[in-house]
Amino acid sequence: MRILVTGGAGYIGSVSVEAFLASGHEVTVLDDLSTGHRDAVPEGARLEVGSYSDSEAVARLLARHQIDAVLHCGAKSLVSESMTNPAKYFIGNVSGGIALLEGMRAVGVKRIVFSSTAATYGMPDRTPVMESDPVRPINAYGETKRSVEGAIRWYGHGYGFQ
């Protein structure tokens, strides 16, 4: 399988890339390197420096590398910064996430795994948190991740995304 990993130069993304490569998959990493590190991208993965927030560029990349599925790990992720600069998080995470989905839709890539966060649960009623527990974000970061989860769910209903 040919997989695109957004944010693949970050910690979670790069560890996922390693696992995909070890399982025999072909991996392309899309990362703007604003918080990720070029050296974190495992050998054997192709690095494309850029942003997932440009749907046309994403569509070209997906088509060029004949991508089958996307692991979306890219995001702005500092909780405290999200509270003092929520616009940065809504533009980067939500608008960017929708741009990624639109790039995927343009070329017919409908398989996505989203790296979300426990911050969507806010102050959970119990631990460990179960996926079925209510989502009640208490910061802008958690709200942006919840928003992208909702967009992905609706892209599934409307466009057949899985």
Task: Enumerate the active-site residues.
Answer: 141
Helix residue ranges, H only, 70-122: 79-84, 86-89, 96-107
Estimate the share of the chain in helix, then strand, then coil, as percent rounded to the nearest 5: 50, 15, 40
Residue 130 tokens read as: 């179960």
| Cα angle value 90/153/11 (rounded, 5°) | 55
Q: How many C-beta neighbours within 10 Å does residue 73 have?
A: 27
